[in-house]
Amino acid sequence: MLVTITLIELKSPLKFFALSYTALGILKQLKQAKCVANKNTGIWTTHYTMSLWNSADEMRTFARSGAHLEAMKGSAKIAKEIRTLTYESNELPEWKEAKRRLMSEGKVLKF
């Protein structure tokens, strides 16, 4: 199984509205996907997501289609930084551990 952790750091607090609108579509897509578990947290300009997948193929199918794909294409408009980390695990970590690993091991995209 695979865990994917993501951080999106918004350009400004006003970008939260665009993020929220986009997130609604992604959550709807996620409910139809083969995601085992997911959770999210965030405040102000810093937002995190975690998801657990049975396989890399299922994860990629979700990430490269629908609302998630459209969000990735438009991410430079709202984000100043996105971090992602995917690793093997049979369960989602606690937030403290997820954030620590993401900051030390995550791939960083800056806009």
Give the Cα separation of 25 and 12 in Å (integer).
21
Give the Cα separation of 21 and 2 in Å (integer).
27
Q: Which token pair is 82?
A: 């996105």
Please state the pTM of the whole predicted model: 0.93
pLDDT digits over 53-84, tens only? 999 999 999 999 999 999 999 999 999 999 99
Provide the CATH number for the domain around residue 72: 3.30.70.100
Instruction: Determine the pLDDT at residue 15.
Output: 97
Q: How many domains does the chain have?
A: 1
The parent domain of residue 7 ranges over: 2-110
